[in-house]
Structure formats: structure tokens, C-alpha cells
Amino acid sequence: MAKKALLVGITGASGSIYALRFLQRLVEMDQPVEVIFSEVGKRVFEYETGICVEEVSKLSRKTYEPSDFFSPPASGSSPYLGMVIIPCSMGTLSAIASGSSLNLIHRAADVMLKERKPLILVVRETPLNLIHLENMLKVARAGGIIYPAMPSFYAKPKNLDDLIDQFVERLVQFLFAQENPYSWERLLKEEE
């Protein structure tokens, strides 16, 4: 059976490098991915990484425009494993929390929640205001996973690349760990 794709949303929060390394790691793992950039996400990604978004499509099975509501991510019948939004802006968090579905990233996230599939938001902002905190609580109560872009230091990263890779590896392990109730590996096994 062909592997199901993981949907990856990339928004205009700082931390585009996390998205790039995450996609590269999934390719290494032979995990198919489909990508949706938000309009601002495209610009911030190119500004922060110096890589044009067309290059990213080489890592992805398919890429979708954020306005393309006729595409598979907009539908609950599409067989995605789940979705990771990395990095996730406070604007996108807010749209998901309110269910407004203004672009394809919001709609796909809404679909994940209604279909009870894993949705992980790698949020990035500091400091957090009450609106951000309430939106995170709302999404967590609806079944989403708030996974802040917070690198750790106890593994003693030698440089920035190390720091980013350690964070990405931790996220990948979280996704695929057997003991994790949201693990896609586990969900796939249950489907067999």
C-alpha cells in the first residue's frame, strides 16, 4: 500500500529554517509530504532562508496555493496522515481557533480537527498576549497539539544548525514514537 502523505503548512512566523529541515528530514525518512505555504509564509521563507519556494516543491509530492480550496487538503475524504504547521504564526493560530478557514492552511487544519486526525502547531511568538494564550487553549481543547518552537540546550548544541536539527529530530520522534497516542506509525498500524 502506498504511504499516506503528511500535510505541512508553512506560515509567515519566523523560523522558516525549521520547516526546511523538517521537510528534508521527512524526505530522508521516505515519508511523502504535501506542502501549503501561506502568502506571507512564502515571503518570510525566502527572506529568512534565501531559498526560493519553488525549490521546496522538489521536497514535496505536491504543493498547493493557499487560495486553492478545490484541492485535496480542503476535503475530509483525502487520506492524509495528519498535519504539521511549522512555523505557525499567531494569525494562523487565531484563524484555526475561530474556525474561520480563510485560506487552505486554516481549512486543512479545520479538517484535521473535525476528522480527529493529528494536528501539530509549531507556534512561534514571544511574549505571548492573552489572545495568543486563549487561542492555544482553544485549539488544544479541540484536539490540536501546541508544539512551540522552543529549542533545548541540554543536548549541548555546538552551533545553530545543531540546535535546529535537535529540535526537528525531537518533533520527528514525537510524531513517529509508538508510545505517543497521536503517533502516525501507530495510527497506520491500527488501520491495517
DSSP category for residue 12 = S
Q: Which of 44, 112, 171, 175 binds ligand FMN (CB under 6 A)?
A: 44
Q: Which of 115, 125, 138, 176 binds ligand FMN (CB under 6 A)?
A: 125
79-98: contacts with ligand FMN (CB under 6 A): 89-92
Q: Which of 7, 8, 12, 135 binds ligand FMN (CB under 6 A)?
A: 12
Closest to 110 measured CA to CA, from 148, 138, 151: 138
CB of 11 to ligand FMN, least distance (A): 3
Q: Does 63 bind ligand FMN (CB under 6 A)?
A: no
**Distance separating alpha carbons of residues 73 and 88, to the nearest angstrom:** 17
CB of 190 to ligand FMN, least distance (A): 32
Site of grid cell 526560493? 52
Amino acid in the structure at residue 124: R
Dihedral angle over CA of 172, 98, 36, 87, nearest 10: -50
Site of grid cell 475530509? 76
Q: Does 41 bind ligand FMN (CB under 6 A)?
A: yes
Contact residues: ligand FMN, CB under 6 A: 11-14, 38, 40-41, 44, 47, 89-92, 124-125
